[in-house]
Structure 1
């Protein structure tokens, strides 16, 4: 499976820290020919580029605000002009701008969350996928980082949950479309973890039997699934249980269960970013 990345051209969004940086490190360690790092912090991108540098690896850094559609389009064109295509795309970047109730969230914050978490991955794939389809000489992979929040509604994160639910459904539908159209060399993997300890969800309250994932563990699960071309990865296992229970139980019964496990109170101590 490592042959999927050896000699590949890899693009990682949100690459300056957390899971994005770890994805970039995995790509470099696996023998990628080129790693493209996207983020908003030029200094952070430079630090990651230096950290992953090794003989035979080309590292490209692009300062890109994913909320700016024109900037995203221009950056995608530049990558295609430079590399011809991308073999592995990791849509990792994401934001959460509020832990308040929906009616307390500023409309501009909600719109920003949807632009970064949902519209940007869609737009980036739309710009890169035609070239990925056309270049059938080697396997292509798209990894879209969604969230368990897109599977299990949770108070105080309504817009974030909605953005990830939309991303999840779109991602899996594109997977089916590629299969139906006969583009078997392009595989799409959707990754739906529970809380990951990157600082994004600092201060959250623990959920019964659902540990906060280390970034290393989360990236390892996602990376292995992406290499194997698995359609959807959900972690930890208790999220599977919650997803099944929510589908089987009447809504009020599920609500009681979620409250008992601490799901509905988990965002009350949120201090993240």
Structure 2
């Protein structure tokens, strides 16, 4: 893939605001051929599409679709519309995600939170990628899939058990998909798995960054992810301490890790004051 997204067709989920909107703005700045925005918030999506369209000034075609990616049937319908309007995207950014509450698992909402979190965070990226992968493979053009997971998927975190599970599943699927594409000889389609710590978008308002893992600025995350995507890097970890924690989790006895990293570094208490949005 070239060093920029110039001429590419890009689809971004959760694109009405936050980092989704920032990815779209980056694509427009690099003269992408088209940017397709998916989000469930119709009002915010319409406003974002208007504003980004004004910035694009016709150089990049901006399209938007109201899609609740937690509705797996809606994904297939919207994907069909995208293929008719712009063909198969060259870049898919699975950015949409939710997190619910800061309660213990047994205090959550009788399974409703669990179903919603797993559908949006785990099943949706799989279903969306499945919709577009055949076209990406057949086109032989350089293509990218970016799956936004989380550092929470790499280690346990109290008060966000289902969220951590949903992101752990994304990491396992995403990296397996990368290897499958390589084994099958489809090297032109590359998968980047992203595992950031807390990002200051409002989604994790009130959460405290553990020691050595300060809350990240969205602009920093977007820049690192974008460059990693263009380069086709398998993994983007933010900050560096996320990688360190994975190593320590593998080599330390469980109870030692719990005391030294989980409790000592503040990982296990980072969600106690969480008030963010779902």
1:18 corresponds in structure 2 to 18
Distance 1:114 1:104 in 2: 17
Distance 2:113 2:266 in 1: 26
Alpha carbons 2:101, 2:274 under 8 Å: kept: no
RMSD (CA atoms) = 1.1
Distance 1:5 1:209 in 2: 33
Deviation string 1:153-182 (CA, Å, 9 cap, x unpaired) is 110010000000000110000000000000
1:40 corresponds in structure 2 to 40
Alpha carbons 2:208, 2:215 under 8 Å: kept: no
200, 222, 225: which is aligned to 1:222? 225
- Map residues 60-209 of structure 1 onto 2, 5 A cutoff: 60-106=63-109, 107-136=111-140, 138-209=141-212
Is 1:262 matched with 2:266?
A: yes
Aligned length: 272
Is 1:29 matched with 2:33?
A: no
Deviation string 1:211-250 (CA, Å, 9 cap, x unpaired) is 1001111111111100000001111011111111111000
- Structure 2 runs not aligned, ≥5 long: none
Q: CA deviation at 1:50?
A: 2.4
Deviation string 1:49-86 (CA, Å, 9 cap, x unpaired) is 22222232111100001111111110011111222211
Distance 2:190 2:4 in 1: 11
- What secondary structure does 2:163 align onto? helix
Q: CA deviation at 1:4?
A: 5.2
- What secondary structure does 1:267 align onto? coil
Distance 2:146 2:12 in 1: 10
- What secondary structure does 2:191 align onto? strand
- What secondary structure does 2:264 align onto? helix
Distance 2:144 2:231 in 1: 9
Distance 2:209 2:125 in 1: 29
Superposition TM-score, scaled by structure 1 size: 0.97
Distance 1:115 1:41 in 2: 17
Is 1:9 matched with 2:6?
A: no
Deviation string 1:84-137 (CA, Å, 9 cap, x unpaired) is 21100000000011211111112011110000000000000011100111111x
- What secondary structure does 1:6 align onto? coil
Deviation string 1:170-221 (CA, Å, 9 cap, x unpaired) is 0000000000000111000000000000000000123112110011111111
Deviation string 1:21-66 (CA, Å, 9 cap, x unpaired) is 1110111111111100000112211222222222321111000011
1:240 corresponds in structure 2 to 243
- Structure 1 runs not aligned, ≥5 long: none
Superposition TM-score, scaled by structure 2 size: 0.95
Alpha carbons 1:4, 1:139 under 8 Å: kept: no
